[in-house]
Amino acid sequence: MTARAEPAAEFPAADIPGRDAPSPLTPKATAFPGYSDMLARLGLHTTPPTPAPKESSVSVRETTHGEVLERARLISKVAFHAYGNPTVHIAAVDSPLHVVGSPFANDVGPYAPCGFINNARTDTQAFVHRNDRTKELVVAFRGTQPDLVNHPKDALNDLRALLVPLEEAIFGTVPHTQGEPHVHLGFQECYKSVVEDVRRAVADVLSRDPEGRWRVVLTGHSLGGALATLAAYDLANIYQNAAQDRVVCYTFASPRVCNDDFACSYNHLVPYTWRFSNVRDVVPMVPLVHWTYCHVGRNVRITPSAKGFKVDFMEHLEHGNVLRIFPALFLAAKATLYYGRHHLWKLGPLIAAEHGKNVYTKF
């Protein structure tokens, strides 16, 4: 199956919908006593280089819709690769890592797995990949695992959908908003459990890159996409004075993560965010928008058809749009009609298929 995309169009950072002209960014403020010491232990610093870089130095960046799709087809396999397990658990990012049990165990293109992050308390995992040729470090978070008997914590964290204040003790002062940023309770707890390991893995590479050639890509499918969103925000907030395309995010079938105030800050910090969603997939539709939840980034909408997949780059962000409930409810209604045409016993496999790799790696 082949994708039918709109003609390639350029989108410099200043032209991304909902993105204001770049403004001088300030270093991340100290959030609690000892915060600076903690960052220093991880190789991070609250004082940025002076002057701040004005232009990007990264080795690779996407400047057209076609390039975004090409990169996303590679990154999507890395996102699903995170459902596998390493033969040996290591946290270093300089050694090759063999992964088993992944749908793409031997097919992640130019991205070599080199590190694994795991927290047993929250059952949260992430793989670290690197591409030395394009100088990309990819952190891929695992999504909700279908084996609920052995991995019930993923589903339980998904259901902890209360919006709670963003913890500044973890994420630091929130820039670019005067409101009160809130995020999904379960997602925040999962990311908190691995935050130091993620920061350490990224700092290990970026601290050896004074020219700013490496970029960090956060990705994940389903729950993994939600965690990638929080990680992208966290890292972009730490490295605010780096070029704004040094931290980018590609998510697949991510649920909503936050409220409008957090989305406003996020979209300033991580303007290069591409959120892929299937119009028939129920996961990107939840938590429901009228619970004050909001998506981040720019939506790339996938529409399955008998001839393949149609891919559309949506021109409007959800944040700041008081009428966003209407298109959200329209998509939910269309999905309801689609599933309503099938017998009840077929709904489980059908919903899983619309959420799975045959859509999100073959668009």
Q: Is 170 helix (H, G, I), strand (E, B) or coil?
A: helix
Q: Is 115 helix (H, G, I), strand (E, B) or coil?
A: strand
Residues in the chain: 363
pTM for the structure as a whole: 0.84
Q: Encode pLDDT of 170-222 as tens digits.
A: 999 888 888 899 999 999 999 999 999 999 999 999 998 988 899 999 999 99
49 in Cβ contact with 210 (< 8 Å): no
- Return d(Cα 220, Cα 81) in angstroms, integer: 9
Task: Indicate whether 157 pLDDT > 80.
Answer: yes
- Return d(Cα 265, Cα 233) in angstroms, integer: 9
User: Which DSSP symbol is given to 93?
Assistant: S
Q: Encode pLDDT of 33-76 as tens digits.
A: 444 454 444 444 333 333 344 467 888 889 999 999 999 999 99
pLDDT in the model for residue 3: 46
pLDDT in the model for residue 290: 64
- Return d(Cα 167, Cα 181) in angstroms, integer: 9
> Where residue 90 falls among pLDDT bands split at 50, 70, 90?
low
Token duo for residue 284? 């990107």
Full DSSP string of 195-260:
HHHHHHHHHHHHTT-TT---EEEEEEETHHHHHHHHHHHHHHHHTTTS-TTSEEEEEESPPP-B-H
Name the average pLDDT for the chain.
83
Considering the segment(s) 2-360 as one domain, its CATH architecture is: 3-Layer(aba) Sandwich (3.40)
CB neighbour class for 196 (10 Å; exposed up to 12, middle 13-18, buried from 19): middle
Q: Encode pLDDT of 304-363 as tens digits.
A: 988 899 999 998 888 777 777 888 888 888 888 888 888 878 888 999 999 999 999 999
**Distances in whole angstroms, Cα of residue 333 to Cα of each of 279, 291, 330:** 11, 17, 5
pLDDT in the model for residue 26: 32
Q: Where are the domains of the chain?
A: 2-360
